[in-house]
């Protein structure tokens, strides 16, 4: 029988599948479609200190192989997430979740992470220093090793749970960014977030998205994500949650061979809300096809 279990910083998951932040809300909408407890975990909606309305519309643009979005971390704020969203989530999901936290200052990251660290249902804190749609925050920290280091140190000083730093692909070299997070005490790395992209309306001759540019995601970015996971695995001795363009069980195996211990599924959830159950159901078949009995055995197997 195929062994799908993996372990992230002491947290054992039944399988490596984790819906990515921003594509799964707080879980309960998907719980109306299927039993989300079949998932390894999931990363809930990016959360900031204060409530955020997000970008004006239109926020989405489609292409044949990807989609571009500029939601800009719309969320109800950390207090309502703790008082309303997590209790509601606990009714439908009985495993530990990944808390995705964003911010506009080092102090805000630390404050949000200190608060969410106290929540029993949170197993891992995913510090998002990489959202491309938020001005003067997130990616402005994540493209600079000093910024990543400062945020990581501040968060680690006020938390007890494992901290995974989510990095941006919008950099010349991902390795020094990951190394800065590791040296500052990160417990793991999440990568990649979306690339930057845009579309132009030929009739109006203006950008389709009100924010002009947005996060470029979908199957087209898988090769970029694989390359960066591969590079970081060789450079930094920390567990990696890999993501970016994963749409099939074969992609999951490929991402783990590159060095990921667990794999987040992002844009695929926006195209097909049953994407994760379909991938999970197909994993044992793909494992058998390639002679894999345990997923733990293939992590970093391409190196």
Backbone angles phi, psi at 208, to 5 degrees: -65, -40
Instruction: Give me the domain span that covers residue 99.
Output: 6-49+83-194+221-298
Q: Is residue 188 part of a domain?
A: yes
The tens-digit pLDDT sequence of the chain (303 residues) is 899 999 999 999 999 999 999 889 999 899 999 999 999 999 999 999 998 866 567 666 677 777 777 666 788 899 999 999 999 999 999 999 999 999 988 999 999 999 999 999 999 999 999 754 444 444 456 788 999 999 999 999 999 999 999 999 999 999 999 999 999 999 999 999 888 888 899 999 999 887 788 877 889 899 999 999 999 999 999 999 999 999 999 999 999 999 999 999 999 998 899 999 999 999 999 999 999 999 999 999 999
Structure tokens given for 192: 């990649």
256-292: b or e for each residue (b if 16 or more CB lie within 10 Å)? bbbbbbbbbbbbbbbeebebbbebbeebeebbeeeeb
Residue 77 belongs to a domain: no
CA proximity to 13, closest of 283, 223, 217: 283
Any residues with CB less than 8 A from the CB of 298 and at least 6 apart, and which?
253, 256, 257, 292
CA gap 109, 141 in Å, rounded: 11
d(CA 94, CA 97): 9
Residue 208 lies in a domain: no
Distance of CA 83 to the CA centre of its chain: 23
Tell me, yes or no, whether 211 lies in a domain.
no
Annotated catalytic residue: which of 66, 112, 113, 131?
131
- Tell me if 55 is assigned to some domain: no
* Three-state secondary-structure class, residue 84: helix
131 in a structural domain: yes
Instruction: Confirm whether 253 is domain-assigned.
Output: yes
Residue 113 annotated among the catalytic residues of the structure? no
Give the chain's domain count.
1
CA separation for the pair 295, 12 (Å, rounded): 13
pLDDT for 197 equals 87
Cα gap 144→149, rounded to integer Å? 9
Cβ neighbours of 201 (radius 10 Å) = 12
The residues with which 47 forms a beta bridge, in sequence order, are 101
Output the domain CATH number for residue 159.
3.20.20.70
Judge whether 146 and 155 are in contact, CB under 8 Å. no
Query: pLDDT tens-digit profile of 178-197?
Result: 999 999 999 999 999 888 88
* pTM, two decimal places: 0.93
């Amino acid at each position: 029988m195929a062994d799908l279990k993996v372990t992230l910083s002491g947290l054992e998951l039944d399988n490596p599948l984790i819906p990515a932040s921003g594509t799964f809300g707080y879980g309960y909408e998907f719980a109306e479609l299927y039993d989300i407890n079949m998932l390894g975990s999931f990363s809930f909606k990016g959360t900031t200190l204060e409530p955020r309305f997000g970008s004006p519309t239109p926020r989405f643009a489609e292409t044949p192989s990807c989609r571009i979005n500029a939601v800009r971390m719309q969320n109800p704020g950390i207090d309502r997430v703790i008082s309303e969203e997590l209790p509601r989530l606990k009714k439908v999901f009985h495993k530990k979740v990944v808390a995705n936290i964003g911010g506009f200052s080092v102090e805000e990251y630390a404050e949000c992470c200190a608060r969410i660290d106290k929540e029993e249902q949170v197993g891992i804190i995913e510090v998002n220093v990489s959202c491309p749609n938020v001005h003067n925050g997130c990616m402005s920290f994540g493209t600079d090793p000093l910024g990543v280091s400062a945020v990581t140190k501040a968060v680690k000083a006020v938390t007890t749970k494992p901290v995974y730093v989510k990095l941006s692909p919008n950099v010349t070299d991902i390795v020094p960014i990951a190394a800065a997070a590791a040296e500052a005490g990160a417990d793991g790395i999440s990568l990649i977030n979306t690339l930057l992209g845009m579309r132009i309306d030929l009739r109006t001759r203006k950008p389709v998205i009100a924010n002009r540019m947005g996060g470029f995601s979908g199957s087209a970015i898988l090769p970029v994500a694989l390359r960066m996971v591969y590079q970081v695995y060789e450079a930094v001795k920390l567990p990696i949650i890999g993501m970016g363009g994963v749409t099939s069980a074969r992609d999951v195996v490929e991402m783990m061979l590159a060095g990921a211990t667990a794999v987040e599924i992002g844009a695929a959830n926006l195209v097909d809300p049953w994407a994760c159950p379909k991938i999970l159901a197909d994993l044992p078949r793909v494992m058998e096809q390639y002679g894999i009995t345990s997923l733990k055995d293939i992590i970093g197997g391409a190196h």
